[in-house]
Amino acid sequence: MIPITKITGDADLALFKETFSRSEEAFEEIDARVKEIMENVKKHGDDAVLAYTEKFDAVRLREMKVTPQEIGEALATVDPAFLTVLERAKARIATFHEQQMEKSWFIRQGDGILLGQLITPLQRVGVYVPGGKAVYPSTVLMNVIPARVAGVEEVVMTTPPDKDGKIDAHILAAAHVAGVTEIYKVGGAQAIAALTYGTETIRPVDKIVGPGNVYVARAKKWAFGKVDVDMIAGPSEIGIVADETADPVHVAADLLSQAEHDQAAVAALVTDCRSLAEKVKAELERQLIKLDRQEIAKTALETHGHIFVTDTIDRALELVNEWAPEHLELMVENPFEKLVKVKNAGAIFLGPYTPVPVGDYIAGPNHTLPTNGTARFSSPLGTYDFIKRSSVIYYDEKALKNVKNDVILLAEREGLTAHARAIRKRFET
């Protein structure tokens, strides 16, 4: 089901890289459909959104906006214990993200000069939450809470309705707890278009965040520039670096926890212990047959699952750094010692009692993470995604006079004589 490969030379190294490389898919047909949807929504607003909702979600809506009554009904419907857990998760997520907050700062650079950076939150943010068969209240918390901590005043959530024109009560409860200010029963590329261009009902936003299917992802790609977006996320990934001290039962369970997400999910173990590799392979087969999402996880393991055996744990970490996985578990004897060797990973989970699901739901750090190797240059979603930095510059007359000749010289060397004149005019007598 899942192969074991010993990394010994260049050929095996090429196989390792091939396992985690994503072929560039042909998006031409999808992009054509997405562009058509977005242009139609741009031109026809609510009418187009409602028509696409009827076409794709099989429901004819009278009203897109979720009412306070619907939210109240949802809160009355869900288990009180679920609401308690939401509040606990909210507190942990907020506490973590409060530590990320940047502050405005100012410095004096000599007499008459003040320089600084002004931090301001985005005014209006759109959060896309997948719907249909999926119910992900954790996605609501992870995308909304950092925005609210950053000071975003208007957080707009869109999510597709079911065939009865309703939103799952658990999603609405999470939205209420997290602090969403508006909720709309809209999904797919049409939701991204509505958030980008605005309609009669939905005002446009400054930035769109949140996961979705390939149509949502491509719509976000085409929306970028008109609005900002968080990332174009791919299927889930987990890499586990483990030594002989790791429990094969735990390793297998953690690999399956991400394999059940998606048939295209990537799950890989890299270890210096051949015995552990064999035990994990056998344990995967034992645990797989007990999963509710057995077929999804099985396909993921068969197509994107692998176990690699290296000579040392340090070599295993070198390989993982080339991969840059979304989730990385260090199930080794001294995980804190090895942490300094990790260069590329979305989130790092240390030790045998820190599986990915604790980070997915309640630890506090964000579970919206870079995939497809983008952890080499990008970061998890955070409060920094919901702020802007503006440079602040002040010179008084004396300070400007002291540097005027430098500015004029540089401007004239660039052929920008109006720039130079703007300085000279202030000192003409």
Q: What is the 3-state secondary structure (H, E, C) of 117-162?
A: EEEEECCEEEEECCCCCCCCHHHHHHHHHHHHHHCCCEEEEECCCC
* β 347-350/237-242 pair status: unpaired
Q: What is the pLDDT of residues 175-225, one digit of tens each?
A: 999 999 999 999 999 999 999 999 999 999 999 999 998 899 999 999 999
Please pick, among 176, 326, 329, 367, the residue that the annotation labels catalytic: 326
**326 belongs to the catalytic site:** yes
Which domains does the chain show, CATH number per domain? 28-229 (3.40.50.1980), 234-376 (3.40.50.1980), 397-427 (no CATH)
Low-confidence spans in the chain with pLDDT less than 70: 22-26, 132-133
What does the pLDDT read at residue 135?
87
As a whole number of angstroms, the distance between CA 258 and CA 248 comes to 16
The pLDDT value recorded for residue 25 is 62
Q: In whole angstroms, what is the distance from residue 231 CA to residue 237 CA?
A: 15
Q: What pLDDT does 184 receive?
A: 98
Catalytically annotated residue among 170, 327, 329, 367: 327
For residue 382, count other CB atoms closer than 10 A to its CB.
20
Give the pLDDT of residue 24: 56
> How confident is the model at residue 18, as a pLDDT?
78
Residue 159: predicted pLDDT: 97
Structure confidence by residue, pLDDT tens digits, 87-113? 999 999 999 999 999 999 999 998 999
The pLDDT score that the predictor gives to residue 182 is 98
Between the CA atoms of 88, 91, 96 and 102, what dihedral angle is there, to the nearest 10 degrees? 160
Who contacts 30 (Cβ-Cβ below 8 Å, separation ≥6)?
214, 215, 218
pTM: 0.93
Classify strands 113-121 and 105-108 as parallel, antiparallel or unpaired.
Answer: antiparallel
Of 165, 163, 164, 160, give the one whose Cα is nearest residue 134: 160
At residue 19, the pLDDT reads 76
